[in-house]
Amino acid sequence: MIRWKAACFVLAVLLVCLGGCVLPPVEIAAQFAVSPSSGVSPLVVTFDASASHITEGVISSYAWDFGDGTTGQGMITAHRYAVEEERTYTVTLRITDQHGNQAAAHQSINVSPSPVASQAPRIEFVWPFHYDASGDDAANLNDEYFALQNKGDQTVDLSGWTVSNERGVTYQIPSGTSLLPNAVLYIHSGDGSNSDTILYWNAIAPVWNNDGDIAFLSNREGLIVAIYPYYPC
Ligand SMILES: [Ca+2]
Ligand SMILES: [Ca+2]
């Protein structure tokens, strides 16, 4: 009888221990901020998922669906919406941890048409963006470059326009620079003599991160007119 009681006691202790030793499930929560959540086309919206959290491990991927048929990656990203009539887009963030656990969050972006959008200068970044110079980028700054193209039908004066990276490092396009329709302008990170088709940033270090960055083109008024987020394959 005493042996049975002892056995039951041991079993009870084991059950309590096992119950107490079970690890709580991993909690993963997707959360993001948008700025702005509404505005006039073309609207550049930044998305920041740094508020997402997980109780154990790390978040290994941030996948974005911008609601207009395009997608993106990264904890912080941006997207440009252009509309001809008012549209509301549902943006979805899906985060994944190293075990494959997932969580999602959604927000709406409202974009209104601009009455002058059709007459706005259409200067765009040209694919591909040569952010990774051959060899050591720091020793080969002029092989780090990108290009802008005038996709409109009128010459655009780019004097005082700026190009910035995600960290806010900024280059101002020199006075007197203009771009004819369809013309392409290259901007290299290093030193050199500017011409009508090639400009030099004169940076002392690489400008464009090889593991992902965002290029912003702003006009003289400081309004963003083009954006180019990229991520290595
Ligand atoms: Ca680079
Ligand atoms: Ca390189």
> What DSSP line would sit under 143-197, residue for residue?
GSEEEEEE-SSS-EE-TT-EEE-TT--EEEPPTT-EE-TT-EEEEESS-----SS
- 147-180 pLDDT, tens per residue? 999 999 999 999 999 999 988 899 999 999 999 9
Tell me which of 80, 100, 116 is where a domain ends: 116
Task: Give the domain-ending residue among 53, 81, 116.
Answer: 116
Same-domain pairing of 96 and 164: no
User: Is residue 9 one of the residues assigned to a domain?
Assistant: no
Q: How far is CA 215 from CA 97, 130, 150, 193, 211, in A?
A: 28, 12, 17, 23, 13
Q: What does the pLDDT average to over 75-90?
A: 89
The answer to whether residue 200 sits within a structural domain is yes
Asked if 172 and 217 sit in the same domain, the reply is: yes
Label residue 3 by pLDDT band (50, 70, 90): low
Does residue 186 sit within a domain? yes
- Euclidean distance between CA atoms 111 and 92, whole angstroms: 16
Q: Which domain holds residue 143?
A: 121-230
Ligand 2 centroid–CA 220 distance in Å is 32
Q: Which helix (H) or strand (E) holds 39?
A: strand 38-40
d(CA 165, ligand 2 centre) in Å: 17
Q: Does 56 reside within a domain?
A: yes
CA of 171 to the centre of ligand 1 (A): 16
Q: Which CATH number covers residue 59?
A: 2.60.40.10
14 domain residue, yes or no: no
Q: pLDDT digit string (tens) for 181-210?
A: 999 999 999 999 999 999 999 999 999 999
Residues with CB under 5 A from ligand 1 (ion): 131, 137, 144, 206, 208, 210
Question: From ligand 1's centre to the CA of 213, what distance in Å?
Answer: 9
pLDDT at 6: 47
First-residue to last-residue Cα distance in the chain: 70
Distance 121 CA to ligand 1 centre (A): 28
pLDDT in tens, 91-130: 999 999 999 999 999 999 999 876 543 456 789 999 889 9
Domain count along the chain: 2
Average pLDDT, the chain: 87
